[in-house]
Each structure stands twice: as structure tokens, then as C-alpha cells.
Structure 1
Amino acid sequence: ANIIEALEAGTKLLLVDEDTAATNFMIRDRRMQELIAKDKEPITPFIDKVKQLYTEYGVSTILVMGGSGDYFDVADTVIAMDNFQPQDVTEKAQLIAEKYFTERTAEGGKNFGTITPRVPLAHGIDPSRGRKAVKLKVRDVDEVGFGAENIDLSAVEQIVEVGQLRGISKALVYAKEHYIDERLTLSEILDLVMKDIEEKGLDVLTFFPEGDLVQFRPLELAAALNRLRTLSVL
């Protein structure tokens, strides 16, 4: 879900750490494939989609891994850390892949699949509460009160400063007031909001300069919108 969310938001690079990714998401080896047939396993391993992601959508992946050499088969570049120094070992990894065939069956199909653009609906984005047309309350870096709803961003580790969350909450209101019109897709809305910020600064999000907003990425703005429980889309 996080990958599809990032792709819809327009990312061109995924950073994946083996230590924080589920094992069956990363790889299913030949023995596990033999024990549990594909039709019994709903998750398609990333190893069978990562190349398609690049060839079909131009999205690269930097993967930190130390537990499976099966990725040698799909890697364009392999870098090993030797005494904290990076070493290009691509040629060696390719020779190893040729020498030790994995024998696993690819499960990704012929294509990555369609990324369906969604159109947010304005009625599902309501910052009002009581008599206040806009009621926002930022709680540290992991939660924002948006109208009558609480948006839980505790799993969005890229938000590191409370000012970013203030900016994101203001940007949600700004997006609704200016661009959410039941015609524009989420990615188009993100582009327009970020373009306005780039051209006019973060003050474009508020009626007057507030001085406590911090720059954020469109990915985190999308994450906040996607975690708004009242969000409705076409």
C-alpha cells in the first residue's frame, strides 16, 4: 500500500530497507513456493515487481539488503560496504547469480499493473468543527486534528519537524479551497499546491505570514490526505 501511495504521488525513487520490510513481501524462495502455492499466497514478492516498476514507470529502487542474493538477478548495480567504504561489486554479483541459479519461479506476471489515478471529492475533506470553519490542531509530529477528525501520521517517519505538520494541515485546507473540484486527480492537485509553494513560499497557505511552517514534500501531503478517514474519491 505504501508503494502504491508513493507512486500515485509521483515518486521516481523508492528507498527500501530489508530490516523494516516483511520477509514475504521481499522474497519467496523456491522451497516456500513449493510448500505454499501462489494461489494460496496473496502477496507478490517485490523481487518480481521491482524491474517492471523501472521499465514501465521509470521508478528506481535503492534496496538495502544483506539476507538474499536472489536480488542479484534483477539488480542493475550492486554496492557492498567494506569497512564502511562502498565498493561496486556488480560484476561479481552477476557472476554469482550465473553460477548459483535460484530456481525460484517469478510471480509478478508480465506487467507491473495499472496505477489508477483517483479524484478526491471536496465533501470528504472538512476542516470545520462547531462554529469554526477551520479547526486545526497539530500534536507533535504524528497526529493532526483536522476538523472533527484526527489524522494519524505516526507511521509516516519522514515527518521530522512539527512545523512540517503545521504546513501539511494548512496545505490540506488550501488544496480544498483552490484545487479539489471533482475533476483534478490527486497527483495533479499535489503538483499545483507544491508549485504555488515553490513560487510564493509557504505563506501562500495562510492569510498572513505565520513564521512557524516548515517545508514538506508532496509525498507527506498525500500521506496525510490518504489517512483522513472521511476522504472520498472517484
Structure 2
Amino acid sequence: MPFRPCPRIPLADSIDPVNAFGKRSIRAQDRQRLIFGRQVIDLADLEQLTETAQTHAIGSAIEYGKPYMDRHTPLRAVAERVVADMAEKGLDGISDRICGHLAGFRALELAFALNRLRGIQMIQEGCGS
């Protein structure tokens, strides 16, 4: 029987961009570190990221993608929907404000960042033995 990975479904309630002072905080410290609320997401292993603007865009995309995390949509589909919206609306479409300091990324990089977010909760469905 071939190996088939189980889809992981992210839970939106486990993603919180609020810092210790009660303020929304999403910013790229540099290309390899994303400040997301109280957490620092380490993206050092993502060699495809070449600009801090990409890291900042991924942070915005994590928050933007929360409505797609409906307890039924797998991580891969969430990331693909966000990237499709980005292609349709432009980079500023994934941010709550027009900033001009965002750069494109792939769905793979968004999924990687979500997987590196400490505290994110996921459920797995269809993983019968």
C-alpha cells in the first residue's frame, strides 16, 4: 500500500497576532525572522526567501488566511487560496493597509511558515489505519 500523508487542517482560533501589550503585531525582523504576536517564527531554513518584504507579506498572509481555516480546509488548500487571492487582488489585498513593502511568495512558503508557528493547532482527517 503506498504512503499517503494525511491532510492537516489548521484551526484559526489558535493563530493570534496580538503581542504582550494587547496590540496586533506582525512584522519582519529580517528575512529569516517573522514577529507574529508574541512569537518569533524562524524561517532560516526557507532558502527561497530572498527579501524581508517576502517575510512581511507571509506574516500578513497568515492573518489574511484565517477565514479560510474553517475546520474543513487542509493547510495546502488554505495556502493556495491565499496565493490565488494575492494574484487576483495584488499584494496589498492580503494586508489590512496599503504599505508597498510586500513581495510575492509561493504557497509552499506560507505553509512552511504556518507549520513553524508555535501554538498552531491542527487536526487530521481521513487517517484511518
In structure 1, the gaps of 5 or more residues are 1-109
In structure 2, distance between residues paired with 1:195 and 1:168: 14
Distance in 2, matches of 1:207 and 1:124, equals 20
Q: How does 1:1-234 map to 2 (within 5 A)?
A: 111=2, 113-129=3-19, 130-132=21-23, 134-176=24-66, 178-234=67-123
Superimposed CA distance per residue, residues 191-224 of structure 1 (whole angstroms, 9 cap, x where no aligned partner) = 2111111111011112332111001111111111
Could you list the runs of 5+ residues in structure 2 that have no partner in the other structure?
124-129
Q: Which amino acid aligns with 2:68?
A: Y
Q: Which has the higher helix share?
A: 1
* Cα distance per residue 1:39-72 (max 9 Å; x no partner): xxxxxxxxxxxxxxxxxxxxxxxxxxxxxxxxxx
Task: Give the Cα separation in 1 of the matches to 2:100 and 2:92.
Answer: 8
* Partner SS for 1:197: helix
Q: Deviations over 1:121-176 (max 9, x none)?
A: 112211111221x2113111101111011101111111111000010000001011
SS in 2 for 1:116: coil
- Matched residues, number: 122
- Separation (CA, whole Å) in 1 of partners of 2:8 and 2:29: 29
Q: Distance in 1 between matches of 2:119 and 2:104?
A: 25
Q: One-letter code of the match for 1:201?
A: G
Inter-partner Cα distance in structure 2 for 1:199 and 1:156? 25
1:227 offset after TM fit, Å?
0.3
Greater CA radius of gyration, 1 or 2? 1
Separation of aligned partners in 2, 1:189 and 1:175: 7
1:65-123, Cα deviation, whole Å (9 max, x unpaired):
xxxxxxxxxxxxxxxxxxxxxxxxxxxxxxxxxxxxxxxxxxxxx63x01110110112
DSSP 3-state at the match of 2:27: strand
Alignment match, 1:82:
none
The CA distance in 2 between the partners of 1:203 and 1:190, in whole Å, is: 17
Q: Secondary structure at the match of 2:81?
A: helix
